[in-house]
Structure 1
Amino acid sequence: MNQLFTNFLPINDLDLKVGQYSVLQCGKLCTDEKSCQTFLYKPQDEKCFLYKYPLLEYTPVLSEAGVVAYEMEGCPLSGLTLNREAGLCLKILFTTNRTSFYASSVCAQLGGELISLETDQKMTFLKTYILQYYGEKKGVLVGLNSTGGWDWASGAPWVPSSLITNKINNFDSGMNPCGSDFCGVFSLSSSSAMEIFDSCCLNIPLLFVCSTSVL
């Protein structure tokens, strides 16, 4: 685990455990709870807090003196963010090469692929990650492709979720005709609302998301 000296607590999604704990006991609680990404410990009061996301630049926090934060580790490379509950690590990268082939090749060099969002948990985690990493809404290329039917890079079929607005229509006004397949773009229409639309695979967004397996 990676120790961070913070003196603050996240405002949302924080679980204060009842009782008094040592730092090792607090760490074990986090280890045993798959949704726990970070645990925060206040030695003075022996308080243990579990948090389901990593601590990022725009994580909403309040000041709390004496708190030390520890992030769980498990990614094969530095710079990747762990999602323990989904069993994957992710990284958002920037590119000026606007083709999905290039984005896929970069992910392959990291030992992974463009992220597949087959579950609501993965979608919600990515939404929170984008907001807390960038502090604003962003559109990112994900591993969804129209080749042979809409499927994720993992091979799972695209099944619309009630949590996300489906705007896939096999059309890209920015590149028409496309001359290629269409690729999925995950975006936020507000701080809480998610949507997915398609873009020509030769005209992808500037940001894309790679994922790898955990150690």
Structure 2
Amino acid sequence: RRFATDGIMYDQVARCCMEYAQQLMMEEGDLVWTTIQTDGDDGDPRKPPVRALVSRSLLQEKDQEQDEEDEAETETGGARSRTPRPTLLVITGKGKVRAGIFSRRHLQVTGLEPSCALSIVAQAKQRDMNIVLLDPNVHGERKAMGIIEQSMTQLLPPPSSSHLTHQAPLYIQAHSCAGAYIVRYMMDHYDSYAPYLEAMV
């Protein structure tokens, strides 16, 4: 509050800072925005779309999986075997922070490293990992759990629920209330994710 008064000005400055930080993360990790198809999406233009920052390589792998499944249906011998990259999933905590952002205040007054996932993205990229940054707060705190469930179903589905199986090692970093949400989700799908879940913090 020493630097910006609460209210419209604070929110606008925070929005600009978050968008800049997200742009840096996109460049550092080769990330792109992807839209999540949510239940009950009525196309209301006043409601922002649910999006996530995702590695371009992960989307390419999903497209390749689909092509291989299509080939396996028409050719003998089945799909080719390959080793997918491990995946890092980062979920921000509750509030007005968006994908990859941990604290609006620290983003404005402290710096990028403690306030967003930029350094995490850089380390994951060096380790040749796919990266997924979810935005559970886009429709408010009450919708966060549902958005996480639908984002997981679309981007990292339980292996038993889809022929497009995600069988790469999975690492999860969840902040604040998102930790409770992802634990609840994993408990509901434990048997599916357990063989691939390497760590969750």
TMscore range, shorter length: under 0.3
Higher strand share: 1
Give the TM-score, by structure 1 length: 0.25
Higher helix share: 2
Structure of higher RCO (CA pairs closer than 8 Å, 6+ residues apart)? 2
Give the TM-score, by structure 2 length: 0.26
Of structures 1 and 2, the larger Rg is shown by 1
